[in-house]
Amino acid sequence: MRAILCETFGPPEGLVLAEIDKPEPGPGELLVRVHAAALNFFDTLIIENKYQFTPDRPFSPAGEISGVIEACGEGVDAGRVGERVIAYVRWGGARDYVVIKVEEALLMPDGLGFEEAAGLMITYGTTIYALRSRAKLQPGETLAVLGASGGVGLAAVEIGRLMGARVIACASSDDKLALCKAHGADELLNYVKLDLKSALKSLTDRRGVDVVYDPVGGDLAEAALRATGWYGRFLVIGFASGTIPKMPLNLVMLKSVDVLGVFWSESILIEPQAHAENMLQIMEWVKAGDLKPHIDRVYPLEKTPEAIRAIANREAKGKVIVSLV
């Protein structure tokens, strides 16, 4: 079978397309024919050994997949062959077949194609965990989303709207903001043209925003923290800018702000029941037609390096997909 392999840590151009043995499912496992794999910002980091996990090499990028069950290991109902499933696989999705634990497979919702379904787990899972489980976002509250046209950012625009918040989408270009508008943002803020703190303050009658969703970090983080209101919540999602901010704690003290860490992939291991409930809500929204991942670009497997390059170059909006079938 085909696989994109990271044999040596480095930039996307160092990834290679290889033929490797097809795996066998063990007890309690499923063999899934991958139809599509979604890429995320962390794929740009994991192949350079700059991420919090270091997989054994060679490994494949892509942390989430959609596909069809082709074989079942011992102890798994063989009647499941042919089911369409999605799964979060941490890494290793950019290959023709993956083996996953039976409990990792979620049934693919009707009404979505494989490419859209491949991008359901990470961005929506992270965002519902952040907004619902961590920030406890309430209807009528104001939510500022940084990097709002990116993978997790656009998910925050959509889920924030579904939770009844007033969503201020913040991004680096009017083109990116137009996509956020189409996905339900109430207000648009271009942080290249405007000062983020002042603009957020003026959009909230000087009161400040209730919740900040920050997957970008860098200088924008402190500006957004300064624009939170009384009992504000600041969600630390990630650092796509490449800079982990260091912030003065007096900003947190003066407005009784909560700074909330969000580590979704660890939370699903520690709190599997809460994760299952969050994913159930995501699936209900998907089935109702309220959520649908925006697919920016689709690449064939052999073009995975180009796909990861587009994310690293800050060009992608929504999801970037590798199609295998």
Ligand X SMILES: NC(=O)c1ccc[n+]([C@@H]2O[C@H](COP(=O)([O-])OP(=O)(O)OC[C@H]3O[C@@H](n4cnc5c(N)ncnc54)[C@H](OP(=O)(O)O)[C@@H]3O)[C@@H](O)[C@H]2O)c1
Max Cα distance, the chain (Å): 61
CB of 57 to ligand X, least distance (A): 20
Span near ligand X by CB under 6 A; candidates 13-21, 137-145, 248-256, 309-317: 309-317
Instruction: Compute how many other C-beta atoms are within 10 angstroms of the C-beta atom of residue 74.
Output: 9
Window 162 to 181, contacts with ligand X (CB under 6 A): 171-172, 176
Among 311, 321, 322, 324, binds ligand X (CB under 6 A): 311
Q: Is the CB of residue 152 less than 8 Å from the CB of residue 131?
A: no
Task: Determine if 151 is a binding residue for ligand X (CB under 6 A).
Answer: yes
Span near ligand X by CB under 6 A; candidates 7-15, 34-42, 135-143, 269-277: 34-42
Nearer to ligand X, 99 or 122 (CB): 122
Among 122, 162, 163, 279, binds ligand X (CB under 6 A): 122
Q: Is the CB of residue 293 less than 8 Å from the CB of residue 272?
A: no
Contact pattern from residue 54 through residue 93 relative to ligand X, giving x for each residue in contact according to CB under 6 A and a dash for the rest: ----------------------------------------
CB of 262 to ligand X, least distance (A): 4
- 70 closest CA partner among 109, 105, 103, 111: 105
CB of 118 to ligand X, least distance (A): 14
Task: Determine if 241 is a binding residue for ligand X (CB under 6 A).
Answer: yes
Task: Determine if 304 is a binding residue for ligand X (CB under 6 A).
Answer: no
Q: Is the CB of residue 104 less than 8 Å from the CB of residue 130?
A: no
Beta strands at 295-300 and 319-323: parallel, antiparallel or unpaired: parallel
Q: How many residues bind ligand X (CB under 6 A)?
A: 29
Question: What spatial distance separates the first Cα and last Cα of the chain, rounded to whole Å?
Answer: 12
Instruction: Compute how many other C-beta atoms are within 10 angstroms of the C-beta atom of residue 281.
Output: 16
- 191 closest CA partner among 179, 207, 177: 177
d(CA 51, CA 105): 25
Among 18, 33, 186, 239, binds ligand X (CB under 6 A): 239
CB of 4 to ligand X, least distance (A): 18
Span near ligand X by CB under 6 A; candidates 22-30, 65-73, 256-264, 279-287: 256-264
- 170 closest CA partner among 101, 241, 69, 232: 241
CB of 269 to ligand X, least distance (A): 12
**Helices then strands, each counted (H, E), the chain:** 11, 15
Nearer to ligand X, 101 or 314 (CB): 314
Helix ranges (DSSP H) in the chain: 41-46, 114-118, 122-128, 151-162, 174-182, 196-203, 218-226, 250-254, 264-270, 272-287, 304-312
What CA–CA distances, in Å, run from 81 to 16, 76, 108?
31, 10, 14
Span near ligand X by CB under 6 A; candidates 6-14, 30-38, 258-266, 287-295: 258-266
Nearer to ligand X, 66 or 126 (CB): 126
Span near ligand X by CB under 6 A; candidates 26-34, 132-140, 148-156, 281-289: 148-156
Nearer to ligand X, 126 or 278 (CB): 126
Residues lying near ligand X in the complex (CB under 6 A) are found at 40-42, 122, 126, 147, 149-153, 171-172, 176, 215-216, 237-242, 262-265, 311, 314, 316
